[in-house]
Amino acid sequence: MKIVSIENLTKRFKAVTAVDKLNLTIFEGEIYALLGPNGAGKSTTINIISGLTTKDEGNIEIFNKDMNRDSNEIKKHIGIVPQELAIYEDLTAYENVSFFASLYGLRGAVLKNNIMEALGFVGLIEKAREFPRQFSGGMKRRLNIACAIAHMPRLIIMDEPTVGIDPQSRNHILSSVKRLNSMGCTVIYTSHYMEEVEEICSRVGIIDHGRLIAEGTKEQLKAIITDKNNFIITVNSSENIRLEELKAIQGVFSAVIENNLVKISSVKEINNLDKIILYLSSKGVSINNVESKTPDLETVFLTLTGRKLRD
């Protein structure tokens, strides 16, 4: 089922086209990473989906409802974790969650129950009566998430939820995202930390100059920029290895020996690692390690946009 369907979305700010005929589909149950360099149109797209910014052109359906006609109904089922903290330091953690949950119409026993569940979910139940000004940066981020999930949304938009926090809090938040997803929430996730995307996201869309330039699973995106397998084999001695014999193995098109490292590039469609290892063994070579080098998402992003994700 489609949770978000965007067709020809366009948004201009005077002479600047921030989003340019963008087409995007997000399916139920996904953790969808929306990535882009600074100024690519990612934040504008997020704000339009969230209902914080109006579009100029295009169609948006969320939960199979038209955003023009049913925006109020749609917003009831969306949770937003903004990049900038949206909490009140002069309210307790409990009062913060209560305030945001009440905006979605929660009242009475349901409100109280959901507040405690949300605080428990992010590990702050013991801090319920304390003020956020006493919290660490990571605890404030977790409270931000509790405020966004207390009304039990179907779609959660998380805009760089781990900026500027310690590794322990980051791990807690990533675990929370996966738990929310396992409970049936669809997640749109943005980050400047590609390792987070690698760990939790099921599909990735890359935006640049206001358009979707690549989309797919992590494996599909990595396949875009490579048509070969790269092996690095650590051996005890390379003395008996003959490069011309290695290159004669089907699929191998380059081989280099650097001290005790044998670096081989091979056609991706041919599985020949077993033949390479068999050759080395036949030469009396002891193999200490075999490493398959594939491009990571950071390399894909740099190749497609010309910029690093954190630039």
pLDDT tens for residues 130-165? 999 999 999 999 999 999 999 999 999 999 999 889
Q: Does position 125 have pLDDT exceeding 80, yes or no?
A: yes
pTM: predicted TM-score of the whole model, two decimal places: 0.82
Question: Sheet of 211-216: strands edge to edge?
Answer: 78-81, 155-159, 186-190, 31-35, 203-208, 211-216
Q: What is the dihedral of CA 75, 81, 82, 86, to 10 degrees?
A: 100
Q: What H or E segment, with its residue span, contains residue 178? A: helix 167-182
pLDDT on residue 133:
94
pLDDT on residue 311:
57
Distance from C-alpha of 150 to C-alpha of 76, rounded to nearest angstrom: 12
pLDDT on residue 58:
97
Share of the chain above pLDDT 90, in %: 83
Query: Mean of the pLDDT values across residues 208-217?
Result: 96
Query: Which residue has better confidence, 127 or 258?
Result: 127
What's the chain's average pLDDT?
93
Query: Mean of the pLDDT values across residues 22-51?
Result: 95
Phi, psi of 201 (to 5 degrees): -90, 140
Q: Does position 300 have pLDDT exceeding 90, yes or no?
A: no
Q: Does position 227 have pLDDT exceeding 80, yes or no?
A: no
Give residue 31's identity as a one-letter amino acid code.
Answer: I
Q: Does position 310 have pLDDT exceeding 70, yes or no?
A: no
Rounded to 5°, angle at Cα 28 from 57 and 193: 80
In contact, 232 and 291? CB cutoff 8 Å: yes
